[in-house]
């Protein structure tokens, strides 16, 4: 009993420490330093927070490079670690110019049985689309329609990499039944635009051979592919940040053991995944100022889930309530029905809400009635009750308004799939050029 109480106290203390740093990061205060994988990082400021996670802007004390460091607390031990590692695997699985790349990851021992997962991600200095929406609102301006449509198309391309993901073909060992099953390497999922924008953000190995990268091996912030970086180059770490598992190194080892070199175009089974939390705050601006980068894969899940009983329905409903932002959440996730199948169409709804927010500064369901007058946002979403602001009449073409309306169909079967949505967006863009 006493041990359990101490564990709770330790967890609360660490949570308060993060919160205090978040508050004090805006004040004059000497920056904190953390040590992960034997390297020291200076924490510059808090970029975001939510649930058990904080995202910090950190600077490598040796190279001066900036990173976004996501810190995920796992007070439940291994169960929490497995949950966090699913996010790491999602970053590794989907390879596309419009999807953020993970640079490195590690798990360190926290107090008692708890652990902390660190994810090192590129830092995009231009911020996210929600930042841009806020800036436009403050300045009384808005996106240009062509710019808006192109941002939307780039985001759709990222989503297509998830919805059209092809699982690697099984190896002979997996199908023979004579050996224990091995996990296959995720095949890169790419759209038509095959030049990887994020490759410019990744450290390049001196030998110039990026074969490790293409086969799924990650790059660490030490500027060497993880599988080729000798462990002796990592300095001993202090007790406060003891390395117990290097996530990318482990994933690389699994992929090497699987021996899969990727699946050629047209092979492998299509296994759609859903992001389930698409919103402007989860879409970054690349440093070129025009390319959207989809991020935050903590809610990613296999898209098609058959709901066979009430218990399954409640599990999915609770999961969506925890992981999917309400103003962008699809209606079928608010009240999951027995006998239905959840699909990747939930992302199409979120894309429609995102496009609406880019056009009008807020989601379709963040209205005066739902935000200030006690109205039910859930009821508004499930009823598909939204309006294009009359004060913005004439600002956008009928084609762009049609994109929004096509996505925001309460019946998921009436929404376009991602391929159809991209084709519709291309038509709008062609009409604007």
Rounded CA-CA distance 11/75 in Å is: 7
Spell out the residues 6+ positions from residue 421 whose beta carbon is closer than 8 angstroms to its own. 156, 348, 351, 403, 406, 407
Question: How far apart, in Å, are the Cα atoms of 378 and each of 48, 307, 348, 369?
Answer: 25, 21, 18, 12
Q: Does 70 belong to an annotated binding site? A: yes
Listed in order, strand segments (DSSP E) in 16-114 are 33-36, 39-50, 53-60, 66-74, 104-109
| 335 alpha carbon, distance to own chain's centre | 24
Tokens of 55: 């995202």
Residue written as token pair 């098609």: 304
- Strand pairing class (66-74; 115-122): antiparallel
Nearest-5° angle of CA 131, CA 203, CA 200? 55
CA 29 to chain centre: 31
Burial class (CB in 10 A: 0-12, 13-18, 19+), 231: exposed
320 Cα distance to chain centroid: 15
What's the angle, vertex CA 274, arms to CA 247 and CA 136, rounded to 5?
95
Binding annotation? 70
Binding annotation for ATP? 70
């Amino acid at each position: 009993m006493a041990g359990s109480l101490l564990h709770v106290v330790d967890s609360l203390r660490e949570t308060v420490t993060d919160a205090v740093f978040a508050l004090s990061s805006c004040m004059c205060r000497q920056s904190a330093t953390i040590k992960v994988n034997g390297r020291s990082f200076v924490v510059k400021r808090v970029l975001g927070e939510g649930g058990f996670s904080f995202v910090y802007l950190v600077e490598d004390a040796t190279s001066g490079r900036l990173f976004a460091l996501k810190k995920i607390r796992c007070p439940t031990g291994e169960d929490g670690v497995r949950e966090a590692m699913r996010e790491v695997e999602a970053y590794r699985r989907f390879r596309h110019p419009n999807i953020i790349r993970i640079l490195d990851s590690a798990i360190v021992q926290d107090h008692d049985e708890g652990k902390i997962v660190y994810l090192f991600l590129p830092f995009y200095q231009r911020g996210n689309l929600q930042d841009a929406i806020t800036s436009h609102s403050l300045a009384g301006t808005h996106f240009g329609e062509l710019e808006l449509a192109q941002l939307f198309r780039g985001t759709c391309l990222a989503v297509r990499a998830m919805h059209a993901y092809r699982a690697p073909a099984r190896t002979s060992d997996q199908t023979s039944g004579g050996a224990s099953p091995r996990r296959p390497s995720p095949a890169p999922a790419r759209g038509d635009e095959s030049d990887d924008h994020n490759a410019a953000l990744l450290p390049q190995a001196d030998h110039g051979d990026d074969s490790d990268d293409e086969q799924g091996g990650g790059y660490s912030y030490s500027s060497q592919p993880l599988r080729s970086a000798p462990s002796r180059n990592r300095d001993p770490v202090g007790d406060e940040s003891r390395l117990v598992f290097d996530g990318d190194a482990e994933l690389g080892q699994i992929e090497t053991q699987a021996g899969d070199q990727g699946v050629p175009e047209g092979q492998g089974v299509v296994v759609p995944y859903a992001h389930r939390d698409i919103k402007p705050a989860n879409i970054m601006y690349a440093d070129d100022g025009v390319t959207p980068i989809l991020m935050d894969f903590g809610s990613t899940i296999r898209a098609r889930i058959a709901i066979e009983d009430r218990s399954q329905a409640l599990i999915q409903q609770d999961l969506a309530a925890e992981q999917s932002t309400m103003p962008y959440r699809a209606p079928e996730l608010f009240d999951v029905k027995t006998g239905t199948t959840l699909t990747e169409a939930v992302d199409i709804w979120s894309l429609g809400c995102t496009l609406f927010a880019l056009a009008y500064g807020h989601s379709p369901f963040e209205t005066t009635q739902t935000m200030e007058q006690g109205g039910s946002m859930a009821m508004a979403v499930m009823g598909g009750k939204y309006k294009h602001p009359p004060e913005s009449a004439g600002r956008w073409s009928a084609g762009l308004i049609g994109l929004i309306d096509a996505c925001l169909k309460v019946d998921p079967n009436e929404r376009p799939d991602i391929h159809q949505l991209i084709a519709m967006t291309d038509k709008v863009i062609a009409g604007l050029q």
